[in-house]
Amino acid sequence: MSVRSAALPPIADTQSGADDRQLAIGRVGVRGVRYPLQLRLDAATSTHTVAEWELDVTLPAEKKGTHMSRLVAWLDDFHLSSIPLDADVLRLALAQMLQKLEATEGQVRAEFPFFLRKRAPVSHVESLLAYQGSLRAQTHSGLTTVWAEIVVPVKSLCPCSKAIAAAGAHNQRSHVTIGLELLNKAVSWQELARFAEEAASSELWSLLKREDEKWITEHAYANPRFVEDLVREVALRLNQDARIGRYRVDVENFESIHAHSAFARIERGIWPMA
């Protein structure tokens, strides 16, 4: 080993070399990095959670490689700053990341569970419901955009089943996924959840007493929704909110009469690079 070792520069910097394949790389970075996160829920509240991060930059054709470790170093710095994450913070943080990587284009994405405290509809007992959220910022051609996504679990009850059956109606858990561009005005995570919950046959709670179970059963039966209705009802609410730009709404019903899902999607505007 000693012979070969002697012939080497102590720590060669292979990534910084030149590349002659004339191929730029649209995205290069790290993925699946888990880190604790302080998340801003609204103007008054922040909360602790755990995020999975994806961090990447564009690499010009003439460069051999990016410096992956700087991405993780940036993440650790952000963590140590203890600043609760929201859209404005992420926008600034992305600019710092690009500077650190000497890159002009790139993106940051954090995905995390978060919790909202909810009161059951009749008994008013309280419990937490988990939602999956994500925030993403990307800079391309000098323009930075910020995107939020939320997955909201709800109940859907089939209008056809109700209409044709002598009693009952099949219903099931559904996931409403709302992804949208955040413009200058803030939209809280609570508001995002409500866009989906108000459109559903019923919202969900972690803790329900029998009087609540009676209410949710009857409320869903009185508000049947096809997957098509649900996606449209969410889109209608988004269309009426001037703070919201481009969006994509996905609804998936985990059908209780089949072993597969029904799904629907409405988009407004061109959706960015996934």
The secondary element (H helix, E strand) that includes residue 171 is strand 171-182
User: Considering the complex, what minimum distance in angstroms separates the CB of residue 236 from a second copy?
Assistant: 6
Q: How far is CA 222 from the centre of its chain?
A: 31
User: Considering the complex, what minimum distance in angstroms separates the CB of residue 194 from a second copy?
Assistant: 16
Residue 242 DSSP symbol = T
Beta-carbon contacts of 152 under 8 Å, excluding residues fewer than 6 positions away, are: 131, 175, 176, 177, 178, 192, 193, 196, 197
Residue 210 phi, psi dihedral angles, 5° rounding: -60, -35
For a second copy, give the closer residue by CB, 71 or 148. Answer: 71
User: Considering the complex, what minimum distance in angstroms separates the CB of residue 191 from a second copy?
Assistant: 19
**DSSP code string of 109-139:** EEEEEEEEEEE-TTT--EEEEEEEEEEEEEE
User: Considering the complex, what minimum distance in angstroms separates the CB of residue 60 from a second copy?
Assistant: 11
User: Considering the complex, what minimum distance in angstroms separates the CB of residue 140 from a second copy?
Assistant: 13
User: Considering the complex, what minimum distance in angstroms separates the CB of residue 267 from a second copy?
Assistant: 6
For a second copy, give the closer residue by CB, 44 or 184. Answer: 44
For a second copy, give the closer residue by CB, 92 or 165. Answer: 165
Rg (CA), the chain: 23
For a second copy, give the closer residue by CB, 86 or 212. Answer: 212
For a second copy, give the closer residue by CB, 30 or 186. Answer: 30
Beta-carbon contacts of 101 under 8 Å, excluding residues fewer than 6 positions away, are: 57, 66, 67, 70, 71, 74
Tokens coding 53: 């991060």
For a second copy, give the closer residue by CB, 134 or 172. Answer: 172
Angle between helices 227-239 and 189-197 (to 10 degrees): 140
